[in-house]
Amino acid sequence: MESSFLGQILDILKRYWPSLALGIQNTLIISLSGTLIGLCIGLIVGGIRAIRLDYTASPAAVFGKKVLDRLGKIYIDVFRGTPMMVQAVFLYYALLNVVHWNKLTAAIFVISVNTGAYMAEIIRSGIQAVDIGQTEASRSLGMSNIQTMMNVVLPQAVRNAFPAIGNEFIVNIKDSSVLMIISIADLMFQAKSIAGSTFQFTATYGITAAIYFILTSIASLILNSIERKMNASSTSFPQSDTDPSNMVLATENAGEEHYE
Amino acid sequence: MSEAVVEIHDLHKSFGSLEVLKGIDFSVAPGEVVCLIGSSGSGKSTLLRCINLLEKPDKGVIRVFGEDILSIRNVDRYRANVGMCFQQFNLFKNMNVLKNCMIAQEKVLKRSSKEAEEKAMFFLKKVGMEAFANADPSRISGGQKQRVAIARALCMDPDLMLFDEPTSALDPEMVKEVLEVMKQLAVDGLTMIVVTHEMGFARQAADRVVFMDKGVIEEEGSPEEIFTNPKSARTREFLQHFIND
């Protein structure tokens, strides 16, 4: 049965749209929840790593911070330094007998901890971009390290880092495709089964690529409009607080007193 | 005998190999307004930041309200009682003007949001910024920002206020509005330590002027003594630059 390439595509779409739809649904569930949970992990890990204890901190706090910093560093290095596909198979089988999880849970877990490692660094650099004067003002009013972080620094850091955070979502839409290694029925997995039964590899994967492209394009449009809204609500005047003398202050203090 | 608000003895502070404070002895009486003057790098800002514990002195004693602040455990409670205004204002960029004045009241003093708001509005009114309560800090001028920063500090009911060059980042026409607010505070009897280059303000509002040079207190006295009849040659030389003030 000879048919045109376009004919093949239409035929596949007609016959297999329910399984493609399921694939899209799973891909979106995995990438969206992975990004959100990863963001939460990143806020905690990155937030702790970015806290600078000054000399007024108790020895217990200094010790605890050292331990947490070390653990955070190991977590970030391991998850950024190994492929997510390998993390997926390893964690899925290693924990299967312990937690008896289903594949969707496993997939969300893997993508979350993987994203968390990247988010931690995004949040940390977002925090470091917040002017040290904000922290000093907050501390001078008597707010503690944690109150300062939660109320003053993190909200600004998240806003600064929003483009990078959004980018993680787009990356996750695409990279969640490697999770098919644990047979989660995401878009890529469905495509593979369709291709396997129709033997029309080019058409099937062409459709798959197009769907991924549409998904990431829509996500990117949504993220851009959120970003525009955030920026519209607070436009900096030329006389904003960021002037060169602040930067001098920040670098002067960088090496002093603060434990990083 | 009324106890000094701030008592500093033999204070030393170095940044790396640079010795910024070389043995400062200094005290402030209740209700006194002290202006610290001197050229850049003379250590006046560092002295102020040590009083607030933003910098840790290497050696020396600082007593505030009779308490040795270098050995206290609850630094946050101490800091809540000492207001500080910065050269760069440092208003919280993620909050409007009102919220800037409320947040520490709620988080540190555990005031209800109603109580915090009343207090905030009271002091915003005092600095003439009540009409901007809902404004975003990026939308107001430098002078207005500094007035809000002053109100924010006053909301904590501090017994001592520290000003670190509060007008140095302002356009000349905005300096006045900030200084007017500070003069009013001085009249109200608030104890204030002000690092400033505004000799006019020092002359009018200060009870005492302290001239610092190269990490030591070169000379101190009433504004009258310092400005009209300085004893030290270095003081005289420094004040030459402000002859037109």
Number of domains in chain A: 1
pLDDT on residue B74: 85
The neighbour count for residue A57, using CB atoms within 10 Å, is 17
Please name the member of B90, B141, B153 whose beta carbon is closest to the beta carbon of A239: B141
pLDDT on residue B2: 56
> Is B79's CB within 8 Å of A147's CB?
no
> Is B56's CB within 8 Å of A55's CB?
yes
Q: Are A57 and A145 in contact (CB under 8 A)?
A: yes
Name A160's Cβ contacts closer than 8 Å, sequence gap at least 6: A126, A129, A130
- Per CB distance under 8 Å, which residues of A are interface residues toward B? 54-56, 58, 131, 133-134, 136-144, 147, 151-152, 155-156, 159, 233-237, 239-241, 243, 245-246, 249, 252, 256-257
Give pLDDT tens digits for B144-181.
999 999 999 999 999 999 999 999 989 888 899 999 99
A141, A245, A257, best to mutate vs chain B, most B CBs in 10 Å: A141
Nearest CA in chain B to A54: B54
Buried/exposed code over A124-134 (b: 16+ C-beta within 10 A; e: otherwise): bebbbebbbbb
Longest Cα separation, chain A: 79
Tens of pLDDT, residue by residue, chain A (260 residues): 457 889 999 999 999 999 999 999 999 999 999 999 999 999 999 999 988 887 777 888 899 999 999 999 999 999 999 999 999 999 999 999 898 899 999 999 999 999 999 999 999 999 999 999 999 999 999 999 889 999 999 999 999 999 999 999 999 999 999 999 999 999 999 999 999 999 999 999 999 999 999 999 999 999 999 998 887 765 444 333 444 333 333 333 333 333 33
Q: What are phi and psi of A63, to 5 degrees?
A: -65, -45
Residue B90 token pair: 């440092």
> Is A243's CB within 8 Å of B141's CB?
no
pLDDT on residue A188: 95
Residue B26 token pair: 């200094």
Q: Which structural domain, as residue segments, surrounds residue A203?
A: 2-259
Q: What CA–CA distance (Å, rounded) separates A238 from B173?
A: 17
pLDDT on residue A244: 38
- Per CB distance under 8 Å, which residues of B are interface residues toward A? 15, 52-56, 73, 75-84, 86-94, 103-104, 107-109, 136-139, 141-142, 145, 149, 152-153, 156, 169
DSSP-H helix ranges across A145-243? 145-148, 154-175, 187-198, 201-233
Q: What is the CATH number of the domain that holds A227?
A: 1.10.3720.10
- Taking contacts as CB-CB distances below 8 angstroms, the residues of chain A near B136 are 233-234
Task: Tell how strand B208-213 and strand B216-221 pair up.
Answer: antiparallel
Give me the amino acid identity at B195. V
Please name the member of B94, B104, B141 whose beta carbon is closest to the beta carbon of A142: B104
Report pTM: 0.81
Q: What CA–CA distance (Å, rounded) separates B245 from B195?
A: 17
Q: Are A93 and A139 in contact (CB under 8 A)?
A: no
What 3-state class would DSSP assign to B18?
strand
pLDDT at residue B100 is higher than 60: yes
What ipTM was predicted for this assembly?
Answer: 0.91
**CA angle (B85, B90, B93) in 5-degree steps:** 145
The neighbour count for residue B85, using CB atoms within 10 Å, is 25
Using CB atoms within 10 A of its CB, is residue A239 exposed (0-12), middle (13-18) or buried (19+)? middle
Question: Which run of H or E residues covers position A6?
Answer: helix A5-50
Tell me the nearest-neighbour CA distance from B14 into chain A, angstroms: 11
Residue A177 token pair: 């495709």
From its phi and psi, is residue B137 left (phi > 0), alpha (psi between -120 and 50) or beta?
alpha
Give me the amino acid identity at B243. I
Give pLDDT tens digits for B34-81.
999 998 889 999 999 999 999 989 999 999 998 999 988 888 999 999
First to last CA, chain B: 37
Q: What CA–CA distance (Å, rounded) separates A157 from A173?
A: 24
